[in-house]
A and B are shown apart, each in its own frame.
Chain A
């Protein structure tokens, strides 16, 4: 039971070590500055976002009884995107940025995105509650709200000045380089609490796999539990999106891959998804650092590598099950 955890954690630590330490000499002042103000924040972003997106998705797929669920489907990501578009239009485009202090500017984009994510999340809850709260209505209202917000972003595309257009495009494709210590400090603290609460409820997620009735007979207040976990997920995804933009595909592919190997026990899958997600993003950071001349958007990397991998995974079927005893 503990073996995959130790192996995956060791791999994650190794990746972090490779990313942080590889070519930099810490002796020079420049080296130290880069280490503290660029590399460390990027690594923290990888950890926070990887854990946030992947653990949340793993839980969300069980909660919504839908193996296709990922944060995009809840419409939370699109709420943040709309706010980002608004930010680039109002603050940068109209020049309000000139009147704001650097400190405020450094946290304004993440803060606005987070508010956007929470607003769209709340809207989806309210809507699904109005039409009868259950997994299907959450998905339907999520799709409806995210379509509206995507349309809003498309409208803003029309009026954005060209320079801001590029900023927005990069943000929408996800970037690990946006983070700074102010926003990370808040994100880390909140994410830790959320992860703790989510990992605590994984055995209840297991019960839910057998349907609401059975979970209820086991003594779980299903409605309250669903609401609590959905709020946690919204918070985690909102935080991730607000510091790194929307990151494609890892939320879908990683829990699936792990389930193929280890089965459906959520006490394993939810935390392992988080560790793996953080590892994959750190790998993206390493690729960006050493193998490319310009920093590539993360979604570009995750989708380019992830989608073919996913197809391979689907074709491989249950053969991966045999990996259970080796990894």
Chain B
């Protein structure tokens, strides 16, 4: 269980409080520059913050320690790699092992990318590599169900097929008992794959809770200043929000 007690950071976050329970898959929604990444980096311990950050009653404020890396990982939004490293080497250099968990290898279809330099891959292929790279860091903890997985826009640059694959993978990870928090921009995918959502606007939490309670056309309109229409599919009783 992860608890945020009024986290604040100048110009980044204002009094963010929340409780994320094991097995929950959270999506952070909000306009550009509203503070989604700030919440994630604050939880990762990379932001100078006031307030308290508790992971199962353990204080995990800044600075991150080596022990924290056993259970907490962060997929950053911008990837930095300055040299022509191959995919395999990436895993070895960050985790001291060439091993890529079977599930990640299959789901993200990395088998044929392994020996190529990361620079030579397309944007979407690179994103798949980075998702696997950062999840591998905490994979043993994920399997035990005590990992804290933070992902900043994991589906950016992915085609629809891999978007769904990735979101399913992330939902599965949370169902093992891990806490998963990701930022996201597609409201309908959030309705489909998230269990909970947090709406962030102007560095503050607008609303948070169960996905079906939080994501409504009215709240989305307040969040994005954009009109949405709600459609209902009677046969599956699923809701869809479409931009007006």
> Would A213 and B81 count as touching, CB distance under 8 A?
no
A218 touches B137 (CB 8 A): yes
Find A218's partner among B66, B76, B81, B85 (CB 8 Å cutoff): B66
Q: Which residue of A lies closest to B152 (CB)?
A: A213
Please give, as numbers and ranges, the residues of chain B lying within 8 Å of A218 by CB-CB distance.
64, 66, 69, 94, 137
A93-130 interface with B by 8 A CB criterion? none
Interface residues of A in 182-221 (CB under 8 A from B): 203, 206-207, 209-214, 216-219, 221
- A265 contacts B by Cβ under 8 Å: yes
Count: A-B pairs, CB below 8 Å: 79
Q: Are A216 and B85 in contact (CB under 8 A)?
A: no
Q: Contacts A211-B76, A217-B72, A218-B94 hold; do A264 and B83 have CB atoms under 8 A apart?
A: yes
In the bound complex, CA of A212 to CA of B93 (Å)? 15
Residue B86 at the chain A interface, CB threshold 8 Å: yes
Judge whether B94 and A210 touch: CB under 8 Å: yes
Smallest CB-CB separation from A206: which chain B residue?
Answer: B93
Chain B residues contacting A62 (CB-CB under 8 Å) are: 83
Chain B residue at minimal CB-CB distance from A321:
B86
Interface size class for chain B?
20 to 34
With both chains docked as a complex, state the minimum distance between the C-beta of B103 and any C-beta of chain A, in angstroms.
Answer: 22
Q: How far is the CA of A271 from the CA of B78 in the complex (A)?
A: 31
Structural contact, B94 and A206, CB atoms closer than 8 A: yes
Would you call A31 an interface residue if the criterion is a C-beta within 8 Å of the partner chain's C-beta atoms? no
Do A213 and B76 touch (CB < 8 A)? yes
- Residue pair A219, B76 in contact (C-beta under 8 Å): no
Residues of A within 8 A of B86 (CB): 263
Chain B residues closer than 8 Å to A216, beta-carbon distance: 44-46, 63-64
Residues of B within 8 A of A (CB): 41, 44-46, 63-69, 72-74, 76, 78-86, 89-90, 92-94, 96, 133-134, 137
- A: residues with CB less than 8 A from B are 62, 65-67, 203, 206-207, 209-214, 216-219, 221, 259, 263-266
16 interchain pairs (CB within 8 A)? A203-B93, A203-B96, A209-B85, A209-B93, A210-B81, A210-B93, A211-B76, A211-B80, A212-B80, A213-B41, A213-B80, A217-B45, A263-B86, A263-B89, A264-B93, A265-B92
